[in-house]
Chains A and B, each alone.
Chain A
Amino acid sequence: GENVEQHPSTLSVQEGDSAVIKCTYSDSASNYFPWYKQELGKGPQLIIDIRSNVGEKKDQRIAVTLNKTAKHFSLHITETQPEDSAVYFCAASLGEKLTFGTGTRLTIIP
Chain B
Amino acid sequence: EAQVTQNPRYLITVTGKKLTVTCSQNMNHEYMSWYRQDPGLGLRQIYYSMNVEATDKGDVPEGYKVSRKEKRNFPLILESPSPNQTSLYFCASSPRRSGGHTGELFFGEGSRLTVL
Contacts and interface: CB of A to CB of B under 8 A. Distances in A.
Interface in B90-116: 90, 92, 99-105, 107-110
B58 interface: yes
B107 A100 contact: no
B38 to A, nearest CB: 10
Interface range, A side: 20 to 34
Contacts of A51: 99, 101
Interface in A55-88: none
A102 B40 contact: yes
A44 B42 contact: no
A24 interface: no
Interface in A13-64: 31-32, 34, 36, 41-46, 49, 51
Interface residues of B, number: 28
Nearest to B41: A102
B105 A31 contact: no
A102 to B, nearest CB: 4
B105 A32 contact: no
A87 B10 CA distance: 21
B106 to A, nearest CB: 8
B101 A93 contact: yes
Interface string B1-24: 000100000000000000000000
Interface of A: 1, 6, 9, 31-32, 34, 36, 41-46, 49, 51, 89, 93, 95-103
